Amino acid sequence: MSMLPSRAEMQRAYLQSDAAYDGVFVLAVQSTGVFCRPSCGARKPQPKNVDFFATAREAVFAGYRPCKRCQPMGAAGEAPQWVRQLLSHIDRSPDQRISDTSIRSLGIDPARARRYFKRNYGMTFQAYCRGRRLGSALAQIRKGEKLDHVTLGHGYESHSGFRDAFARTFGTPPGKARTTDCILVTWIESPLGPLIAGATDKHLVLLEFTERRMLEAQFVTLQRVFKRPIVPGDNNVLREAREELSAYFNGTLRKFTVPLECPGTEFQKRVWDGLLKIPYGKTISYEELADRIKAPHAQRAVGHANGANRIAIVIPCHRVVNKGGKLGGYGGGLWRKQRLLELEQVEK
């Protein structure tokens, strides 16, 4: 899969330090002989002085050397080392408050962490940590643990402070939360950039590339449809989705089995069911999909339902193309659609 996004798109990505393109391409600066990730914080070179490569290997063989600041020889789609360090720190103590002083002790600028989490998770670092603590607290409450133990074990100095934060997040006081559930969201790395995945305790309900413009609207829709808050976390469904996506991108999985829940209109459900029936490695037109779901002449409505799909890749809306084979629209970007189709067309 060597096809690159357009030069204009890559220029925009590196000029804006767009981390969503890390692992998608590297940029090489002719004047310095160095190549970088798109998200590199170094001074931005003039576009006329930049070469683009699909992989770090290609840049190395073209005579460029890796940047010491952004370390582009790391795995594709992988979070920067300092982010992985911070996430590991949270995982070791998910129930504890992490202050700016603690972040600095790791050699990380708190402002940098705040910006990165806001851009990639849709929330600041402190909001992410607070969501993790409250999500963990909810799990303990649902298991029947005493509120006193839960309150003191999650970094809150008073019962009132814990109750207020809990109620703001879950819409109910902790004492009434034995049956409360939430949607857990996590970040999944991929060769095409990071994805946000969301799941209840039984079903995958969200899978979107992090920079998709509709992502915030999808969050609002999920909260309305499921009547549950969205908080950071992980569960068995998300772990299953992560493992299956890894196998898919490695070319060893052709059919996903992770359980899905996709509330929508009856027409949307028919379209999404039709998408699930398109075989791996095949494409069909919007017109053909309309015929298959017994809605002839409804190509435009089919296109809208395609765009409303909240579970990318697993519900393969990328397999629908315009009549004549042209790619058509895709919420994650046409270059990603092309990459996914190329992946599926490689003979195994």
Positions marked catalytic: 36, 317
Query: CA-CA distance, 47 to 55, in Å (whole number)?
Result: 19
Contact by Cβ (8 Å): 132, 90: yes
229: left (phi > 0), else alpha (psi -120 to 50), else beta? beta
Q: For the CA atoms of 278, 282, 288, 291, what is the dihedral angle to 10 degrees?
A: -20
Of 183, 166, 178, 181, residue with least CA distance to 142: 178
| Strands in 61-166 per DSSP E | 65-66
- Other CB atoms within 10 Å distance of the CB of residue 7: 11
Gap between the Cα atoms of 347 and 326, Å rounded: 22
* Secondary element (H or E) of residue 262: none
Structure tokens that stand for 328 in this block: 């058509």
Consecutive H or E run containing 199: strand 195-199
Tokens (6 digits) for 114? 């705040």
Among the listed residues 320, 282, 291, the one whose alpha carbon sits nearest the alpha carbon of residue 304: 320
**In one letter, which amino acid is 187?**
W
What is the DSSP code (8-state) at residue 22? B
Q: Which residues contact 203 (CB under 8 A, 6 or more apart)?
A: 237, 259, 260, 261
Residue 316 Cα distances to 240, 264, 312, angstroms: 18, 17, 6
**Which residues, 6+ apart, have CB-to-CB distance to 178 below 8 Å?**
141, 142, 144
Strands 320-321 and 284-285: parallel
Contacts of 145 (CB under 8 A, 6+ apart): none
Residue 115's identity, in one-letter code, is: R
